[in-house]
Amino acid sequence: MTERSTKHATFTVERSFPAPPSRVFAAYADARSKARWFVGPDDWEKSNLKLDFKVGGRESVSGGPPGGPIHYYNAIYQDIVPDQRIVLTYEMHMDKTRISVSLGTTEFKPAGQGTKLIYTEQAVFLDGHDDAGSREQGTRGLFDNLGAMLEREPAKN
């Protein structure tokens, strides 16, 4: 029988990007654009990202190391303010086990010619799986990907 436990945590990541809020927001709102940065390590196998970017819409993607467990991400969009804010909830499964449920707030603020992005995740980690430290580290990796994409293509959507 599974030993049940919960661990609650909150973390915040701030990044500055040399692109305007509309450009950074578009990297979230467009499925093809998001699929290019919202991905795990290069050697992971991955599914196609599905995105229905509207309040109440869903997003899903999965992936994992070759031969290893599959990580499933499933999100529901809760609040969208164009070029300014996105709030979603998401759950992660490792194979068939639900390991966490999270509330993620992304704020896009103009800063000079660019954007200050503030991401706040409030999460509950279930039954001893995962932890806030590795989740934050993984999230920072995604923002590294986003930053690299925006540097390569500062104006394009």
Partner 1 sequence: MTVRNAKHATFTIERVYAATPARVFAAWANKDAKAAWAYCHEEWVPSVHTFDFRVGGREHVVTGPAGGTAHIFDAVYYDIVPDQRIVYAYDMHLDRRRISISLATVEFLAAAGGTRLVFTEQGVFLDGYDDVAGREEGTKIGLANLDQQLRQQRAA
> Which residues within the stretch 86-115 sit at the binding site for partner 1 (CB under 8 A)?
87, 89, 91, 98, 101-103, 105, 107
Stretch touching partner 1 by CB under 8 A, among 39-47, 62-70, 123-131, 132-140: 123-131
* 123 is a contact residue toward partner 1 (CB under 8 A): yes
| Secondary structure E strands in 4-145 | 6-17, 45-46, 50-51, 58-64, 71-81, 85-94, 97-111, 114-126
CB-CB contact of 45 with 63 (8 Å) = yes
Applying CB under 8 A, among 19, 29, 126, 149 the residue interacting with partner 1 is: 126
One character per residue 132-151, x = contact with partner 1 (rule: CB under 8 A)? --------------------
* 26 is a contact residue toward partner 1 (CB under 8 A): no
What amino acid is encoded at 3 in this protein?
E
One character per residue 70-89, x = contact with partner 1 (rule: CB under 8 A)? ------x-xx-x--xx-x-x
Paired tokens of 57 = 């819409």
Burial category of 34 from C-beta neighbours within 10 Å (exposed 0-12, middle 13-18, buried 19 and up): buried
